[in-house]
Homo-oligomer: A and B are copies of this chain.
Amino acid sequence: MSTRKYTYDYPHPALTSDCVVFGFDEGELKLLLLQRANAPAKGSWALPGGCVHIKETTEAAARRVLEEKVGVGKIYLEQLYTFSEIDRDPRERVISVAYYALVKLADYKVKAGRDTENAEWFAVSQVPKLAFDHNHIVKVAIARLRGKVRYQPVGFELLPAKFTLTQLQHLYEAILGVELDKRNFRKKILGMGLLTGLDEKEKNVAHKAARFYSFDKKTYKELSAKGFNFEL
Protein backbone atom coordinates (compact mmCIF):
# COMPACT_ATOMS: atom_id res chain seq x y z
CA MET A 1 0.00 0.00 0.00
CA SER A 2 0.93 3.60 -0.28
CA THR A 3 2.14 5.26 2.86
CA ARG A 4 -0.86 6.60 4.70
CA LYS A 5 -0.16 9.70 6.71
CA TYR A 6 -1.90 12.74 8.03
CA THR A 7 -5.55 13.06 7.21
CA TYR A 8 -6.02 10.65 4.33
CA ASP A 9 -6.12 7.32 6.15
CA TYR A 10 -9.35 5.86 4.79
CA PRO A 11 -10.25 3.52 1.94
CA HIS A 12 -9.53 5.06 -1.44
CA PRO A 13 -11.56 4.41 -4.57
CA ALA A 14 -9.73 2.77 -7.45
CA LEU A 15 -8.78 5.04 -10.30
CA THR A 16 -8.74 4.32 -14.02
CA SER A 17 -8.24 6.23 -17.24
CA ASP A 18 -10.55 5.53 -20.15
CA CYS A 19 -10.09 6.92 -23.64
CA VAL A 20 -12.49 7.84 -26.37
CA VAL A 21 -10.36 7.59 -29.49
CA PHE A 22 -11.79 9.45 -32.46
CA GLY A 23 -10.82 8.90 -36.07
CA PHE A 24 -12.20 10.07 -39.38
CA ASP A 25 -12.57 7.81 -42.36
CA GLU A 26 -14.88 7.44 -45.34
CA GLY A 27 -16.61 10.67 -44.48
CA GLU A 28 -17.57 9.41 -41.04
CA LEU A 29 -16.50 10.17 -37.53
CA LYS A 30 -15.49 6.92 -35.89
CA LEU A 31 -14.29 5.73 -32.56
CA LEU A 32 -12.21 2.83 -31.44
CA LEU A 33 -13.67 0.14 -29.21
CA LEU A 34 -12.19 -3.00 -27.72
CA GLN A 35 -14.00 -6.21 -27.08
CA ARG A 36 -13.39 -7.16 -23.48
CA ALA A 37 -11.42 -10.38 -23.02
CA ASN A 38 -12.12 -10.65 -19.29
CA ALA A 39 -14.90 -10.37 -16.74
CA PRO A 40 -16.82 -8.33 -16.01
CA ALA A 41 -18.80 -7.66 -19.17
CA LYS A 42 -16.61 -10.18 -20.99
CA GLY A 43 -17.26 -10.11 -24.70
CA SER A 44 -18.95 -6.73 -24.78
CA TRP A 45 -17.45 -3.65 -26.35
CA ALA A 46 -15.80 -1.02 -24.21
CA LEU A 47 -13.51 1.95 -24.31
CA PRO A 48 -9.80 1.31 -24.02
CA GLY A 49 -8.82 1.97 -20.43
CA GLY A 50 -6.74 0.82 -17.51
CA CYS A 51 -5.69 1.63 -14.00
CA VAL A 52 -3.66 4.66 -13.06
CA HIS A 53 -0.41 3.60 -11.45
CA ILE A 54 0.68 5.16 -8.22
CA LYS A 55 3.53 7.08 -9.82
CA GLU A 56 1.81 8.20 -12.94
CA THR A 57 -0.49 11.07 -13.86
CA THR A 58 -3.89 10.23 -15.25
CA GLU A 59 -2.79 11.54 -18.63
CA ALA A 60 0.32 9.36 -18.59
CA ALA A 61 -1.90 6.40 -17.78
CA ALA A 62 -4.15 7.23 -20.71
CA ARG A 63 -1.17 7.43 -23.05
CA ARG A 64 0.26 4.20 -21.73
CA VAL A 65 -3.04 2.40 -22.22
CA LEU A 66 -3.29 3.67 -25.77
CA GLU A 67 0.21 2.49 -26.57
CA GLU A 68 -0.24 -0.88 -24.92
CA LYS A 69 -3.67 -1.73 -26.17
CA VAL A 70 -3.94 0.18 -29.39
CA GLY A 71 -0.39 0.90 -30.45
CA VAL A 72 -0.84 4.61 -30.94
CA GLY A 73 1.66 7.07 -29.54
CA LYS A 74 2.16 10.82 -29.63
CA ILE A 75 -1.41 11.73 -30.39
CA TYR A 76 -3.68 14.58 -29.50
CA LEU A 77 -5.09 13.81 -26.07
CA GLU A 78 -7.20 15.90 -23.80
CA GLN A 79 -8.92 15.36 -20.52
CA LEU A 80 -12.66 14.97 -20.92
CA TYR A 81 -14.32 14.52 -17.55
CA THR A 82 -14.07 12.47 -14.39
CA PHE A 83 -16.85 9.95 -13.87
CA SER A 84 -17.45 8.96 -10.30
CA GLU A 85 -20.91 7.44 -10.01
CA ILE A 86 -20.88 4.94 -7.17
CA ASP A 87 -22.05 1.94 -9.16
CA ARG A 88 -20.45 2.58 -12.49
CA ASP A 89 -18.30 -0.55 -12.06
CA PRO A 90 -19.99 -3.65 -10.61
CA ARG A 91 -16.81 -4.86 -8.89
CA GLU A 92 -15.93 -2.05 -6.57
CA ARG A 93 -15.77 1.71 -6.42
CA VAL A 94 -13.88 2.84 -9.51
CA ILE A 95 -13.49 6.40 -10.60
CA SER A 96 -12.55 7.01 -14.19
CA VAL A 97 -10.73 10.04 -15.50
CA ALA A 98 -11.75 9.98 -19.13
CA TYR A 99 -9.73 11.41 -22.01
CA TYR A 100 -10.48 11.82 -25.64
CA ALA A 101 -7.94 11.33 -28.37
CA LEU A 102 -7.85 12.41 -31.97
CA VAL A 103 -5.87 10.24 -34.32
CA LYS A 104 -5.05 10.39 -37.98
CA LEU A 105 -6.89 7.18 -38.69
CA ALA A 106 -5.13 6.43 -41.94
CA ASP A 107 -1.86 6.13 -40.03
CA TYR A 108 -3.16 3.66 -37.47
CA LYS A 109 -5.69 1.65 -39.38
CA VAL A 110 -3.48 -1.41 -39.57
CA LYS A 111 -2.08 -1.39 -36.08
CA ALA A 112 -5.31 -1.44 -34.10
CA GLY A 113 -6.13 -4.75 -32.52
CA ARG A 114 -2.59 -5.90 -32.01
CA ASP A 115 -3.35 -7.06 -28.48
CA THR A 116 -5.35 -10.02 -27.26
CA GLU A 117 -8.42 -7.82 -27.31
CA ASN A 118 -10.38 -7.39 -30.48
CA ALA A 119 -10.36 -3.80 -31.70
CA GLU A 120 -12.69 -2.16 -34.16
CA TRP A 121 -13.61 1.30 -35.45
CA PHE A 122 -17.32 2.13 -35.16
CA ALA A 123 -19.09 5.04 -36.76
CA VAL A 124 -20.34 7.25 -33.93
CA SER A 125 -23.87 6.76 -35.22
CA GLN A 126 -23.50 3.00 -34.85
CA VAL A 127 -21.91 2.53 -31.48
CA PRO A 128 -23.29 -0.62 -29.84
CA LYS A 129 -24.27 -1.01 -26.21
CA LEU A 130 -21.07 -0.69 -24.25
CA ALA A 131 -19.85 -2.00 -20.91
CA PHE A 132 -20.17 0.05 -17.70
CA ASP A 133 -21.15 3.69 -18.27
CA HIS A 134 -19.12 3.88 -21.46
CA ASN A 135 -22.05 4.89 -23.65
CA HIS A 136 -22.47 7.88 -21.42
CA ILE A 137 -18.77 8.73 -21.65
CA VAL A 138 -18.96 8.53 -25.43
CA LYS A 139 -21.90 10.92 -25.45
CA VAL A 140 -20.02 13.42 -23.37
CA ALA A 141 -16.98 13.07 -25.61
CA ILE A 142 -18.94 13.70 -28.78
CA ALA A 143 -20.59 16.75 -27.29
CA ARG A 144 -17.20 18.06 -26.23
CA LEU A 145 -15.65 17.46 -29.62
CA ARG A 146 -18.56 19.26 -31.27
CA GLY A 147 -18.03 22.26 -29.06
CA LYS A 148 -14.28 22.24 -29.37
CA VAL A 149 -13.99 21.88 -33.11
CA ARG A 150 -15.78 25.17 -33.71
CA TYR A 151 -13.35 27.38 -31.90
CA GLN A 152 -10.10 25.44 -31.91
CA PRO A 153 -8.32 23.99 -34.92
CA VAL A 154 -8.42 20.42 -33.64
CA GLY A 155 -10.02 18.99 -36.75
CA PHE A 156 -6.63 18.74 -38.38
CA GLU A 157 -5.59 16.12 -35.84
CA LEU A 158 -8.06 13.78 -37.50
CA LEU A 159 -6.78 14.28 -41.03
CA PRO A 160 -3.53 13.26 -42.70
CA ALA A 161 -0.84 15.95 -42.85
CA LYS A 162 -1.89 16.63 -46.45
CA PHE A 163 -5.60 16.92 -47.10
CA THR A 164 -8.01 18.46 -49.55
CA LEU A 165 -10.49 21.17 -48.67
CA THR A 166 -13.34 18.81 -49.41
CA GLN A 167 -11.98 16.31 -46.91
CA LEU A 168 -11.77 19.06 -44.34
CA GLN A 169 -15.29 20.17 -45.07
CA HIS A 170 -16.63 16.63 -44.81
CA LEU A 171 -14.87 16.31 -41.48
CA TYR A 172 -16.63 19.37 -40.12
CA GLU A 173 -19.92 18.21 -41.51
CA ALA A 174 -19.53 14.82 -39.87
CA ILE A 175 -18.63 16.26 -36.49
CA LEU A 176 -21.16 19.06 -36.43
CA GLY A 177 -23.90 17.10 -38.13
CA VAL A 178 -24.76 19.88 -40.58
CA GLU A 179 -24.20 20.56 -44.24
CA LEU A 180 -21.88 23.42 -45.12
CA ASP A 181 -21.73 25.56 -48.23
CA LYS A 182 -18.62 24.73 -50.23
CA ARG A 183 -17.76 28.26 -51.35
CA ASN A 184 -18.40 29.86 -47.99
CA PHE A 185 -16.45 27.17 -46.18
CA ARG A 186 -13.43 27.63 -48.41
CA LYS A 187 -13.59 31.40 -48.21
CA LYS A 188 -13.62 31.31 -44.46
CA ILE A 189 -11.02 28.65 -43.84
CA LEU A 190 -8.59 30.01 -46.43
CA GLY A 191 -9.19 33.54 -45.19
CA MET A 192 -7.68 32.65 -41.84
CA GLY A 193 -4.34 32.09 -43.50
CA LEU A 194 -3.68 28.88 -41.60
CA LEU A 195 -3.59 26.56 -44.57
CA THR A 196 -0.63 26.20 -46.87
CA GLY A 197 -1.50 25.22 -50.40
CA LEU A 198 0.83 22.49 -51.59
CA ASP A 199 2.08 21.87 -55.13
CA GLU A 200 0.59 18.46 -55.02
CA LYS A 201 -2.72 17.00 -56.09
CA GLU A 202 -4.80 13.93 -55.69
CA LYS A 203 -3.95 11.08 -58.02
CA ASN A 204 -6.04 8.51 -59.81
CA VAL A 205 -9.37 10.10 -59.20
CA ALA A 206 -12.06 10.05 -61.85
CA HIS A 207 -12.51 13.83 -61.79
CA LYS A 208 -10.49 16.99 -61.54
CA ALA A 209 -7.71 16.34 -59.04
CA ALA A 210 -8.01 18.32 -55.81
CA ARG A 211 -5.17 20.33 -54.40
CA PHE A 212 -3.61 19.28 -51.10
CA TYR A 213 -3.25 21.66 -48.21
CA SER A 214 -1.50 21.42 -44.88
CA PHE A 215 -2.29 23.09 -41.59
CA ASP A 216 0.28 25.68 -40.59
CA LYS A 217 0.60 25.12 -36.86
CA LYS A 218 3.39 27.65 -36.43
CA THR A 219 1.37 30.48 -37.93
CA TYR A 220 -1.59 29.47 -35.82
CA LYS A 221 0.45 29.72 -32.63
CA GLU A 222 1.82 33.11 -33.64
CA LEU A 223 -1.61 34.44 -34.51
CA SER A 224 -3.30 33.13 -31.41
CA ALA A 225 -0.58 34.67 -29.28
CA LYS A 226 -1.64 37.96 -30.87
CA GLY A 227 -5.26 37.44 -29.90
CA PHE A 228 -6.48 35.69 -33.02
CA ASN A 229 -9.33 33.26 -32.44
CA PHE A 230 -10.00 30.36 -34.71
CA GLU A 231 -13.71 30.03 -35.31
CA LEU A 232 -15.70 27.65 -37.39
Contacts and interface: CB of A to CB of B under 8 A. Distances in A.
Interface of A: 1-8, 10-15, 38-40, 51-59, 79, 81-82, 84-86, 91-95, 97
B55 A84 contact: no
B54 A82 contact: no
Given A12-B2, A12-B13, A59 B86 contact: no
A169 B11 CA distance: 47
B11 A2 contact: yes
Given A2-B12, A13-B2, A57 B79 contact: no
Given A82-B82, A86-B57, A93 B13 contact: no
Contacts of A11: 1-2, 54
A168 B79 CA distance: 32
A93 B54 contact: yes
A13 to B, nearest CB: 6
B13 A52 contact: yes
B92 A3 contact: yes
A82 B79 contact: yes
5 contacts: A6-B39, A6-B91, A8-B91, A12-B15, A58-B95
A58 B84 contact: yes
Nearest to A54: B11
Contact of A10 (B38, B53, B79, B97): B53
Nearest to A60: B84
